[in-house]
Amino acid sequence: MLLSSVILVLREVLEAALLFSLLMALSRRLTISCRWVFLSLGIGLLGAAIYGFNIDIVSEQFEGVGQELINAFLQIAIYLALSVIAGLSLAHRQGRKAPPLLITVLMTLCVALAIVREGSEIMIYLSGFLAVENLRIPVLAGCAIGAAIGVSVGAVFYFLLLNLETGTARMAGAVLLLLVAAGMASQATLLLIQADWLPAQYPLWDSTWLVSEQSVTGQLLYALVGYEATPTALQVGAYVGSMLLLGAIAWCMSEIVRRRAQMPAHGGAG
Amino acid sequence: MTSIRRFLVVVLLATITLINFLATLHGYRTSMAEADKLFDTKLADVAAVLAAASIDETDAGRSPLMEHGNIVFQVWFGDELLLSSAGAPDHPIAPLRPGFADENFGGYRWRSFSRHEAAGNRWVQVAERADLRFALAEKVILESVLPIILGLPLVGLLIWLIVGRGLYPLRNLANEMSAKRSDDLSPVSEDRPPQELARLIHSINGLLRRLESAFDREKRFAADAAHELRTPISVLKVQVHNILRDSADDNVQLRNLEAAVERMERSVEQVLTLYRTAPEQFAASFVQLDLAGLARQVIADLYPQLDARQQTIELVGDTATMQGDTFALQTLLSNLLENASKYSGTGGSIKVSVERRPGVTALTVEDSGPGIPADQREKVLERFVRGDGRHNDSGVVGSGIGLAIVKHVVDIHHAEIALHDANFATGLAVTVLFPDLEKPDMKTVRRELGSA
């Protein structure tokens, strides 16, 4: 029980912790105050509790696939928010003043939604097992170990990003943002397949022999780049497509910020 | 703001947690595998004991024995069940093949061991519930895992305290630096500093020594310059005065020369007094004063000069107490008024307003001169703030220095300066906003020291 608790909790916590670290490091790089972190934690935990406690009602919706659909929606929302954040930070790096309030709101939203999604999964898991007396200690111990490993990886990751040279950090941050966002899109696709909103397909390949999804490495890769050992064509398509879409959204956002930044200058001259 | 302590605590704790817990997980898995082997050996031992017991055909049909712990067993003679325990199925526990197997019956998963006795052609089968032995093994192993998990908060607390203790010398140094008086440039104590700080303390002491000698040089220069400049100016003044007295007719050029020499004398006095003292020492010498009263006094001093140019002057404002340096503010007022008088021309008007606003004392000097077009004010202000003159082509001696002095006084009082339209038909208004200052604190002094 301990090991399976570790794997489940690690998977959820790691995903949220890495997103959290990435956005916090980005926030520091853009010299935006990190106070949003507390707000997002509060909203996220509250949301996770509400979602977790009402999971029975949620699951009954949409002919029994309410949970999958809501989770897919959460993933897509995080993906979209990440795309806009990428665009705004791109504009910021090109020397144009991106609105810090908008970035802060989006970052808060991203982390809060991720915590709602991952936190509710953990809550559902815990509430199922904690009722069984002799499973309580191994499950709790497993959860503690999984959560501690996840948070620790997130913390190390955050300081690693902060201590990189500016150029390297920018590149690493952009690539990670792209991968995490694509992972979100790919997971959303998987959830929609599970909900029968997208057609089920045979997996394109099976790389379990290389990295098992159940291993710690597999969990780390899942959280970081959305690794799946047996992805379907739709998932791979969503993964690649979402990367291209993110690039497009980011470019559009940076263009909008650039044009807005230029407008007052023209007004002043005229 | 990054914190060394937070960084060290978080990274150390994260690293320890990662290594500890990954090692724990590894230990858990290998321990579980070992426990599995141990249970298997126990199962084989039970089978061996049963095989050694004298069970033969005569035992066939005996009622099942009482259940023994989590273990069930069967003894088969060919396909005839000789003996079984309670809880065992009525068919063979596992296929009749020697060795271990995993089977399902009775609603559970079982780990079984089969042993064949060639001598009596008997099969002994023993099985144990997989979930129970897993739970038992996990319970034993958890006993060693739990302290590691429960100890983690303690590790975090200890790291926090130890790192805090480790950074103690750094905090001490910071305290020593901030407790220094503004004019205390004595070296920081180098009493057995830690290796890492020794270089920093050495550099700080070097910097303090250089700063001290630079201040000394500056003070000496100011004193020398005062001495060197005062004497020739006095001589010049006396000579001009004598020439004027001796010349029969009223020589306008000589009168202008006399006025210019007087102006120069005043400017030199102002520069020497204001610049001989370091800015942070001014902050320490601030007193409670009434800016309106001070303005009245300066206007009275300048009145003959204004009257000679037929200029009218008006002072608006009641008592306005603020913290400041009397001489510096007198200098600021007289410079602003002289400037206003200069640009207002003959018959012009000047208005001085002193006003207490929440948190600030506002001083405004307005003239009825030509003023400065709005679009050029920013440029003028830039030059003004840089310490350039408003109009360097004015031909009046000392105007550039006068504005530089105004800027210096504004800086000393952490005030702000702004230019806008005067309330006259034309003209410029200069407003200086003095923020309310508490008694000069260390922060201000340090900032001053930093800028010095």
The dihedral over CA atoms of B341, B346, B351, B352, expressed in degrees to the nearest 10, equals 20
Which residue of chain A comes nearest to B24, CA vs CA? A145
B422-438: b or e for each residue (b if 16 or more CB lie within 10 Å)? Answer: bebeebbbbbbbbeebe
Q: Which strands form B108-117's sheet, in the order they lie side by side?
A: B80-84, B71-77, B122-129, B108-117, B99-105
Domain layout of chain B by residue ranges:
4-161, 181-276, 281-451
Q: Using CA coordinates, name the residue in chain B closest to A149.
A: B18
Question: In which band, very low, low, confident or very high, does the pLDDT at B444 lie, cut at 50, 70 and 90?
Answer: very low
Q: Both tokens of residue B21?
A: 């817990």
Give residue A57's pLDDT band: very low, low, confident or very high (50, 70, 90).
confident
Confidence class for position A263, pLDDT limits 50, 70, 90? low
B353 CB-side CA count, 13 A: 14
Asked if A153 reaches chain B (Cβ–Cβ under 8 Å), the answer is yes
Which CATH topology does B281-451 take? Heat Shock Protein 90 (3.30.565)
State yes or no: pLDDT of A78 exceeds 80.
yes
Interface test with B, best of A1, A8, A31, A145 (most B CBs within 10 A): A145
Interface test with B, best of A2, A8, A214 (most B CBs within 10 A): A2
User: Look-up: residue for tokens 């140019």?
Assistant: B309
- The per-residue DSSP string of B232-251 comes to HHHHHHHHHHHHHHH-SS--
- The answer to which of A141-145, B121-125, B191-195, B423-427 has the lowest mean pLDDT is B191-195
Yes or no: say if B302 and B359 are a contact pair by the CB < 8 Å rule: no
- Which residues does chain A have within 8 Å of residue B11's beta carbon, measured at their own beta carbons? 155-156, 159
**Which residue do the tokens 């897993």 mark?**
B134
φ/ψ of B180, rounded to 5, equals -65, 140
Q: How far apart are CA B182 and CA B283, in angstroms?
A: 10
**What is the fold of B181-276?**
Helix Hairpins (1.10.287)
Q: pTM for the whole thing?
A: 0.68
Domains B4-161 and B181-276 share a fold: no
- How big is the A-B interface in CB pairs under 8 Å? 55
CB contact under 8 A, A137 and B146: yes
What average pLDDT does range A70-83 have in this prediction?
Answer: 90
pLDDT band for B67, please (50, 70, 90 cuts): low
pLDDT at B450: 45
Contact criterion met (CB below 8 Å) for B118 and B124? no
pLDDT in tens, B75-100: 888 778 888 888 888 888 889 899 99
Structure confidence at residue A127 as a pLDDT band (50, 70, 90): confident
Report DSSP state, residue B237: H
* Helices within A65-215 (DSSP H only): 66-93, 100-129, 136-163, 166-194
User: Which tens digits make up the pLDDT trace of B321-345?
Assistant: 898 888 889 888 988 898 888 888 8
B17 → closest Cβ in A134, A152, A159? A152
- How many angstroms separate the Cα of B61 from the Cα of each of A212, B77, B387? 51, 12, 117
Minimum CA–CA partner of A33 in chain B: B1
B275 interfaces chain A, CB cutoff of 8 Å: no
The pLDDT mean for chain B works out to 82
Mutate to test the interface with A, among B25, B32, B159 (most CBs of A within 10 A): B25
Tokens read off for A51: 């979602």
**What span, in angstroms and rounded, lies between the C-alpha atoms of A133 and A127?**
12
Question: Is A171 at the interface with chain B, CB within 8 A?
Answer: no
Q: Quick one: angle between helices B130-166 and B168-179, nearest 10?
A: 30
Across the interface, do B10 and A159 touch by the CB < 8 Å criterion? Answer: yes
B25 contacts A145? CB cut-off 8 A: yes
Average pLDDT over residues A167-183: 83
How many Å apart are CA A104 and CA B264, to the nearest integer?
A: 58
- Report chain B residues whose CB lies below 8 A from the CB of A141: 142, 145-146, 149
Question: How far, rounded to the nearest angstrom, does the alpha carbon of residue B414 sit from its chain's CA centroid?
Answer: 22
**B130: contact with A, CB 8 A cutoff:** no
What is the pLDDT at residue B386? 45
Task: Examine the pLDDT at B443 and tell me if it is beyond 60.
Answer: no
Q: What is the mean pLDDT of residues B214-218?
A: 83
The answer, yes or no, to whether residue A136 has pLDDT greater than 80, is yes
Q: For tokens 């956005």, name the residue.
A: A23
Q: What phi and psi values does residue B367 have, to the nearest 5 degrees?
A: -125, 165
pLDDT grade for B389, boundaries at 50, 70 and 90? very low
Query: Is pLDDT above 50 for B439?
Result: no
Nearest-CA neighbor of B291 among B266, B316, B272, B274? Answer: B316
- Chain B contact for A155, CB < 8 A? yes
Task: Please report the ipTM that was assigned to this predicted complex.
Answer: 0.83
Mark yes or no for CB contact B22/A149 under 8 Å. Answer: yes
Q: Considering only B63-67, B197-201, B232-236, which range has the smallest mean pLDDT?
A: B63-67
Residue A190 has pLDDT above 60, yes or no: yes
- pLDDT of residue A188 exceeding 60: yes
Handedness of CA B7, B12, B17, B22 (dihedral sign): positive
Q: How many CA atoms lie within 13 A of A54 on its CB side?
A: 12
Using pLDDT thresholds of 50, 70 and 90, give the confidence band for residue A270. Answer: very low
pLDDT tens digit string along B226-279? 678 888 888 999 998 888 888 877 778 888 888 888 878 877 777 777 766 666
Which residues face B361 on adjacent strands?
B356, B434
Residue matched to tokens 């996770």: A48
> Is the pLDDT assigned to residue B390 strictly greater than 50?
no
CB contact under 8 A, B18 and A153: yes
In the prediction, which pLDDT does B392 show?
Answer: 39
**Distance from the first to the final alpha carbon of chain A:** 71
Q: What Å distances lie between residue A207 and A188, A213, A227, CA to CA?
A: 21, 9, 10
Instruction: Say whether residue A7 is in contact with chain B using an 8 A CB cutoff.
Output: no
- pLDDT (0 to 100) of residue B398: 40
B24 and A145 within 8 Å at the Cβ level: the answer is yes
**B120 versus B63: which is more confidently predicted?**
B120
Which chain B residues are within 8 Å of A148, Cβ to Cβ? 17, 21, 149, 152
- What average pLDDT does the segment A73-78 reach? 91
Q: Does residue A58 sit at the B interface (CB-CB below 8 Å)?
A: no
User: Quick check: B104 and B113 in contact, CB under 8 A?
Assistant: no
**Res. A125: pLDDT tops 80:** yes
Is A30 an 8 Å CB contact of chain B? no
In sequence order, the 6+-apart residues with CB closer than 8 A to the CB of B290 are B319, B320, B321
* Rg for chain B, CA atoms, rounded: 48
Q: What is the arithmetic mean of pLDDT over A53-66?
A: 83
- Name the residue of chain A whose CA is nearest to B132's CA: A134
Region A23-42: mean pLDDT is: 87
**B19 band by pLDDT with thresholds 50, 70 and 90:** very high
Structural fold of domain B4-161: Beta-Lactamase (3.30.450)
Residue B393, pLDDT above cutoff 60: no
pLDDT: which is higher, B387 or B370: B370
**For position B448, what pLDDT does the model report?**
44
Which residues of chain A have a CB within 8 Å of the CB of B146? 137, 141
**Residue A96 pLDDT greater than 50, yes or no:** yes
A216 in contact with B at a CB cutoff of 8 Å? yes
Classify the C-alpha dihedral B51-B53-B56-B62 as positive or negative. Answer: negative
A chain contacts of residue B155, beta-carbon cutoff 8 Å:
none
User: Each residue of B298-318: pLDDT tens digit?
Assistant: 999 888 888 888 999 999 988
Percentage of residues in chain B with pLDDT exceeding 90?
24
User: Residue A152 and residue B13: Cβ atoms within 8 Å?
Assistant: yes
Is the pLDDT at B60 greater than 70, yes or no? Answer: no
* A17-26, A175-184, B63-72: segment of lowest average pLDDT: B63-72
